[in-house]
Amino acid sequence: MAVRVVGPMQWMVWPALIAVAGTVILATPAHLFGLSLPEPILPLALAFAWPLIRPSVLAPLMLLALGLFLDVFWFAPLGLWPLSLLAVYGVVLAGRSLLAGQDTRMLFAWYAGCTILAFILAYMIVSLMAGNAPSLLALFWQVLPTLALFPVAGWMIERFDDGDVRFR
């Protein structure tokens, strides 16, 4: 019997590099019919999927690096996105036993809740640091495409959940 080994390169490093590349591509100042490209928080799908795939010491470190990249790339206060991404990772890791084997609708409900949690946390931090509240409409237009990333998280969970048969 052949053993299919899925290492951290497949389920962690490559998706993280794709998230970085996607963030840079979506930040280009292209306009189509007067609308600009959406700017979802791509690593949020990873922060949701990684604790369900396999809890790891490397995942929080990778999320820290991705969050710092987002902070530097978007000129956000340092620590804003790492804190939000790690909060999502922690919530999903704590509820991992509840989420194992759940229906896709339940996973989406958790993903939506975690996304809203991350954005509320980021909104509160930016409001406190700036001294005034950012636009709720702009927040909505960033939350919506981030919620649309759920199929990516769902695909990763399905693809890599039992990727290494040595852990069964």
The 10s digit of each residue's pLDDT in 85-122 is 999 999 999 999 898 888 899 999 999 999 999 999 99
Q: How many folded domains does the chain comprise? A: 1
Residue 112 lies in a domain: yes
pLDDT digits (tens, 9 = 90+) for 35-83: 888 889 999 999 999 999 888 889 999 999 999 999 999 999 999 999 9
Taking the alpha carbons at both ends of the chain, their separation in whole angstroms is 15
Q: How many CA atoms lie less than 13 Å away from 159 in the CB half-sphere? A: 14
**In this structure, what token pair is assigned to residue 157?**
């969970």
Cite the beta strand spans of the chain per DSSP E.
31-32, 35-36
Pairing of strands 31-32, 35-36: antiparallel
Residue 34 lies in a domain: no
φ, ψ for residue 58, nearest 5 deg: -70, -30
Structural domain containing residue 83: 8-25+39-161
Segment 148-154 shows an average pLDDT of 93
Residue 1 lies in a domain: no
pTM: 0.89
